[in-house]
Amino acid sequence: MIYTVTFSPALDYVIDLDELRLGETNRSKKESYYFGGKGINVSTVLTNLGIENTALGFVSGFTGSALERGLKEAGLKTDFIHLEEGITRINIKLRMKQETEINTQGAAITESKLEALLGQLERLKEDDTLVISGNIPNTLPDNIYEIMLKRLGGRGIRFVVDATGMLLKNVLKYRPFLIKPNRSELEELTESKIQNDADLEVGAKKLQDLGARNVLVSLGGDGAYLLCENGKQFRVPAIREAVKNTVGAGDSMVAGFLAGYMRKKDYEYALKLGIAAGSATACSEGLAKREKIEEFFQKI
């Protein structure tokens, strides 16, 4: 079973504008909303691809109820912990010539509620997969990723970590099955410039030496690079189509990769399905559906 953790889910409210005039009344051209959060994005695309999984995390208030209900209606399996105060976040995304995001803080997670989540994770067993991703709310310990992986280490659980900076670097010692930095994050982690494929290999190998088993580097319009734990490496270009939406594309890549690995235990196939899922989301209004992902997979 695959489990995803989203500490601070959100309702993403997307507003299309011609322009934003500060200090004046602005009228939108179109509005839409999506159920967001990096772990939830992974769970949604996994579900779209027919891969069983459970979304964990915290919800609260009327927005949390709406999010939980909406995910279940979409076919997702959830086991959220309900916070007693505050509301699940509403993030504002303004689409104009340039996209602007306003991400809110969300409800505070108490120590007892965090312990409840850690108790849920204790039920994971050998060959399960745990996906943790995104930033940590300021009400949680800044080493919460390390706490989680230390408690679950040695049980044969696959850890997938999609985080940045020291948040990622500090958990490499727990041998995560997969990490997914982008180009700039890889440069930051390795303190080196990535200018070509040879640099990608050197940078990914540094993270492997620190403990990562498989290093998947997302390269935006240039596709992705994968250095596998068996020493093989693969480079797949992106699919060139008009980009409509960048939100969730990286999470979709993680989901596609995991779906491909679960199906065939083949890293090259997993990378191609990951590219297809990420590209399909980038070319969709929301997270990609199975038909779109399969269509894009045939184009690789």
CATH of residue 213? 3.40.1190.20
Q: Residue 279 in contact with residue 241, Cβ under 8 Å? A: yes
In DSSP terms, which residues pair with 40 in a beta bridge? none
| Active site (annotated) includes residue 199 | no
Would you say residue 232 has pLDDT above 70?
yes
Residue 80 maps to a domain: no
Q: What value does the mean pLDDT take over residues 231-256?
A: 86
Q: Identify the pLDDT of residue 185.
A: 92
Indicate whether 17 belongs to any domain: no
Report d(CA 272, CA 42) in Å as an integer: 16
Per-residue pLDDT at 161: 95
Q: How far apart, in whole angstroms, are the C-alpha atoms of residue 193 and residue 205? A: 14
- Active site residue: 128, 199, 209, 251, which one? 251
Choice among 120-124, 164-168, 240-244 with the minimum mean pLDDT: 240-244
**Confidence at residue 248, expressed as pLDDT on a 0 to 100 scale:** 83
In a domain, 14, yes or no: no
Give the pTM: 0.93
- What is the rounded average pLDDT for all residues in the chain? 93
How many domains, the chain?
A: 1
Q: Is residue 214, in this structure, part of any structural domain at all?
A: yes
Q: Which domain holds residue 205?
A: 2-8+37-57+111-297
Express as a percent the part of the chain with pLDDT over 70: 99
Q: In which order are the strands placed within the sheet that holds 129-133? A: 81-82, 53-59, 2-6, 129-133, 158-162, 178-179, 214-218, 224-227, 233-236
Does residue 99 register a pLDDT over 90? no
Average pLDDT over residues 272-291: 91
